[in-house]
Amino acid sequence: MIEGVVVLSILVGAPIAMLFFARRVARGGGRVAPFLLRRTGWLMVTALVVFTVSFLLMRAVPGGPFDDGRKLLPQVRHNLEARFGLDRPMFEQWLVALRGLPTFDFGPSMTLRDFTVQEVIGQGLPASVLLGLTAFAWMLLIGVPIGVVAALKRGHPLDSMLSAGASLGMAIPNFVLAGALMWPLVIATGWLPAAGLDGPRALLLPSFCLGAPFGAQVARLVRTGMLEVLGQDWIRTARAKGLSETRVVTQHALRGALLPVVTFLGPALAGILTGSLVIEQVFAIPGVGTHFVQSAINRDYTLALGMVMLYTVMVYVLNAVADLLLAALDPRVELT
Amino acid sequence: MSRRETKPLNRAPHRTFAARFLVLVGVVAVLVPLLPLAAPSEVRLEEKLAPPSFGTLWRDGFEPDRIRDPGPLSRVLIDARIAVFGDGQLGPLLGTDALGRCLLSRLAWGARLSLAVGLVASAISLIIGVLWGAVAGYSGGRVDDIMMRIVDILYALPLMFIVIFVVALLRGFRNEHPELETNQIIVLFAVIGATSWLTMARIVRGQVLSLRGTEFMDAARAAGSTNLSILRRHVLPNVTPIVLVTLTLTIPRVMLFEAFLSFLGLGVEAPDVSWGVLARQGFDALTAVHVSAWLILFPGLAFASTLLAMNVLGDRLRDATDPRLRGDRR
């Protein structure tokens, strides 16, 4: 409990100090350092707010982790509640849980016997991260070439075909895509494994299904961006200089055309994280996504809190990285 | 202006086709109870997992009682349907699911719910977003700062995950107390709508802000118009186009989210059907030993074609209202 008070004061004090400090550093002319300070400060504020709101929401919904249909003897229930500290005052519970926030050490899960929250995260996170990164790679691998080709072949039937495909890709829920691809590739032919995550072959289909819809959006952004850039004077200059068309496209035009894609990275990464909840269930991938939904349904207070905080921090950090990347590529963008 | 607006439309026949298709889907969704379809939850175990066929085009045996608490409009339509078709109904032309329920009928009833979720949730986000954005942009200064700061903070939160979290918590509570008749669909409307207004607020605020400096606004104020009447007569009509565009692009997003929640078992519940629920059931049928491809094919097709039409229409509206994005510039 004392440690909880310490964590609370850090979570309240540090952001104030950081935001204050960020202003001074910014006045000194720095760009990245104040950004990082500011974002870290806001991350702490966000984490504290999300933590408190989730904590209160969980307790506000009637029923608890031990109301799963079994009838417990009053004494058994009492002992269980005492073991997890559920019999103590709410404010004290909040402080005790807060202590674990910096390290995700929320104690043992209330429904998965013999697992702590840290262990569940530690076992599931690598698979989820791997899936997310591969999906991200698919997104760029599908989106950028299709967008470039469509823009270069503007008005050509190939352009219409690719653009229509991209619009269609945005309209298909990822699990329908998964079902549609699973039938020929897994069930009928057995080319790819249906579930699990043993080896790179097993990762192929899930990551494609997760990344492809975002690839479709990237393709549209790249196409629009390329059309915009190809009409600029400096592209004409590059051509007039006698550069080869490949060089003009890959080194001059593409760089400008990719900027809209970079602004889309934040939402795309958040979307990939959200979509992974479904894809992990579809392909039985042992990641953290399944626990996110299940722990909230079970009212597993500790694990659910850990999951909400994990995804909050991931979304926040990925957004910050995307903003940093955008500023690195486009000096006109203000880092806030 | 009108010449420029009509030109891109004429050149893109597939876009007017998209509009017609959406109207068709909408009309079907509204008039489902009038159509001679089987009741969506009519179980015929002897016909389970029947593939699509035109073997039985028409048969008797419609059971109006199997349609769970229809609203007043549906009741009138069902009565009309019985007056016209008697207890006749179309056979399972698109096949049946694992309980022998007619997929055609379930798709039609699912359209009703899926579109309703999309429209109602978008309408909620529209009301909150437009009011928030208009008030912030019109007031300006400190009020604007605070209101947009709140939007910024909400943007930074992983709202999707908080929504899933809340819905899952409530679902867990429901599972333990099935006797409580809480309507999950209304929860769904409210939660989705309450979290998707941020973009709308930003866009409206930007538009209103740029209107503030114009001369006709100064003139209106000089003529003695009240703030409310300026908002109503000058501001709102000017933001309508961009709001419409955002709305057409919000509806498909919301529908995808509903399907996503339904897939996780957090959205629409049996015996109600939505396209998300059907896709989930089709997916479950696919992983079974017996491959019933039609169960995922048709819901997937219905979903994808409707969303595609909405996206195409939204793009078209955007092109027509935003000259900067118009396609004929290169």
- Cβ-Cβ contacts under 8 Å, B259 against chain A: 173
Top residue of B150, B151, B161 to mutate, by most chain A CBs within 10 Å, is B161
Q: Which residues of B94-113 are buried (b: 16+ CB within 10 A; e: fewer)?
A: bbbbeebbbbbbbbbbbbbb
Helix (H, G, I), strand (E, B) or coil at B40: coil
Q: Is A17 on the interface with B (CB under 8 A)?
A: no
Q: Find the mean pLDDT for residues A102-122.
A: 87
Q: Is B324 on the interface with A (CB under 8 A)?
A: no
pLDDT tens for each residue of A42-93: 889 889 988 998 999 888 877 777 776 667 778 888 888 887 878 888 888 8
Separation CA B30–CA A234 (nearest Å): 54
Contact B164 A293 (CB under 8 A): yes
Say how many C-beta atoms besides its own lie within 10 A of residue A12's C-beta.
12
Q: Is A170 on the interface with B (CB under 8 A)?
A: yes
Flag the least confident range among A35-39, A48-52, B83-87, B292-296: B83-87
Closest chain B residue to A172 measured between Cα atoms? B304
Delimit the domains of chain A by residue range.
Answer: 29-329
Separation CA A150–CA A143 (nearest Å): 11
* pLDDT more than 90, % of chain B: 9
Compute chain A's Rg from CA coordinates: 24
The C-alpha of A298 sits at a distance from chain B's nearest C-alpha, in angstroms, of 6
Most confident of A131-140, A285-294, B44-53, B199-208: A131-140
| pLDDT over 60 (residue A228) | yes
* pLDDT more than 70, % of chain A: 98
Q: Is A297 on the interface with B (CB under 8 A)?
A: yes
| pLDDT over 70 (residue B180) | no
Flag the least confident range among A220-229, B226-235, B283-292: B283-292
Q: Check residue A125 and give its pLDDT.
A: 93
CATH for A29-329, options being 3.40.50.1100, 1.10.10.10, 1.10.3720.10, 3.30.420.10: 1.10.3720.10
Instruction: Look up the ipTM and state it.
Output: 0.83
Mean pLDDT for chain B overall? 80
Of A28 and B242, the structure prediction assigns the larger pLDDT to B242
Mean pLDDT for chain A overall? 86
Q: Which two tokens stand for residue A175?
A: 């699990």
- Cβ-Cβ contacts under 8 Å, B194 against chain A: none
Q: Check residue B15 and give its pLDDT.
A: 64
| pLDDT over 80 (residue A287) | yes
The C-alpha of B168 sits at a distance from chain A's nearest C-alpha, in angstroms, of 5
Q: Find the mean pLDDT for residues B27-41.
A: 83
Delimit the domains of chain B by residue range.
Answer: 31-101, 111-330
Asked if residues B158 and A319 have their Cβ atoms less than 8 Å apart, the reply is: no
Q: Check residue B181 and give its pLDDT.
A: 59
Q: Check residue A216 and give its pLDDT.
A: 93
Q: Which CATH architecture has domain B111-330?
A: Orthogonal Bundle (1.10)
Q: Which two tokens stand for residue B236?
A: 């709102």
Name the residue among A239, A330, A295 with its Cα closest to residue A121: A295
Helix (H, G, I), strand (E, B) or coil at B143: helix
Contact A176 B299 (CB under 8 A): yes
Q: Find the mean pLDDT for residues B197-225.
A: 86
State pTM to two decimals. Answer: 0.84
Contact A63 B172 (CB under 8 A): yes
Separation CA B101–CA B48 (nearest Å): 7
Q: Is B143 on the interface with A (CB under 8 A)?
A: no
Asked if residues B130 and B204 have their Cβ atoms less than 8 Å apart, the reply is: yes
Q: Check residue A181 and give its pLDDT.
A: 87
| pLDDT over 50 (residue B5) | no
Name the residue among A286, A128, A261, A266 with its Cα closest to residue A207: A128
Q: Find the mean pLDDT for residues B137-166.
A: 85
**Cβ-nearest to A58 among B169, B325, B329:** B169
Flag the least confident range among B77-91, B128-142, B302-316: B77-91
Top residue of A297, A319, A321 to mutate, by most chain B CBs within 10 Å, is A297
DSSP letter assigned to residue A193: -
| pLDDT over 50 (residue B241) | yes
